[in-house]
Amino acid sequence: MFELCASILAADFANLARDVQIADSAGADAFHIDIMDGHFVPAISFGIDMVRTMSRLTSKPLDVHLMVESPLLFLPGLAGLGVTRVSVHYEIPGGPNDALQAICSAGMQAGLVLNPETPVKAALPYLKDISQLLLMTVQPGRGGQIYLPGSDEKIATACSMLQAQRSNAVIQVDGGITSSTLPGAYSAGARSIVAGSAVFHGKIKENISKLRNNSVYTLCH
């Protein structure tokens, strides 16, 4: 099966505690938090304060995605809040090596993010340091986008590469996930699924059930 990471970027911030508690009890395995700096991507989103808030609202793992130019500035604060995983972009200035090493040194699991245009082979030098390879299936920086064509093929290529390298890294996908696109991503090799709108827009409990049940049905038939 797959890990369902509920992305709070799509939650109702006026009722964040309510939405998180519903998603938690309905079966979300982890919560995905996007931190954007307005430079690496045009948008600005959460900071450390939101991670602190989430640490009080749930005991589920916190999966932080740093869409920032200088991830090293954020890592001490994240480590102090008990974050489980932190993913940084391959495309950041100077490359991701220092950030990945710092994440591991701080006792957190490191993830590497590849934008849609970045080939999966770019991850090869970093496989020894990461527990998660996050493939963006939309352009990073805003929610509600459509799953990009060719994403399943890219996931399958990444899966073959990880197997060939005997890497234990899990493939995570982020962007455009619905009960219709999830089965293709899973079949191609994704085992951690980030879903925002598909979880938080509408009835959260029913949405999570649909992602679980409809996807399982499709995968089995």
Residue 211 to residue 84: CA distance in whole angstroms: 24
Is 98 in the active site?
A: no
Please, are residues 198 and 160 in contact by the beta-carbon 8 Å criterion? no
- CB count within 10 Å of CB 154 equals 22
Catalytic residue among 19, 24, 34, 63: 34
Q: What are residue 193's DSSP bridge partners?
A: 4, 173
Please, are residues 103 and 92 in contact by the beta-carbon 8 Å criterion? no
Is 49 in the active site?
A: no
Q: Which residues have a catalytic role annotated?
A: 34, 174
